[in-house]
Structure 1
């Protein structure tokens, strides 16, 4: 989310692990990425791959929300961004 992705990233974005393993349960999401590797038009067409377009949806996957990071990351001393 909100990452500069360079040309090192293949346009498909993802590779299958082993046949169709986990394709029915995975969730890969991208939100407001930039850079030459950030175009999502060539990404995989799996049902679990999502281009997230709303800040409220993307916010569910932040360190503060998804990992409850605000309750434990500060004590680690590791710099992080809680939300978007």
Structure 2
């Protein structure tokens, strides 16, 4: 599953540079995560880096985009092939 940022986001700017897939960007009011690019850092790290650095713990699993570990790894391979 991809991750998403809740409206508790304080726009601190620490999550965006941590994302290895460039899935995080500034939205109209808060940062947003593109579910097509988010792999929860599968293929890069053992844990999602954005969650590790978020000072307000506002980055959660997006239940509306269910994916298995295998699907996340396949998405990772597709993303790095396109770079």
TM over 0.5: no
Structure having the higher Rg: 1
Judging by fraction of residues, say which structure has more helix: 2
User: TM-score scaled by structure 1?
Assistant: 0.29
Judging by fraction of residues, say which structure has more strand: 2
User: TM-score scaled by structure 2?
Assistant: 0.29
The higher relative CO (CA closer than 8 Å, separation ≥ 6) is in 2
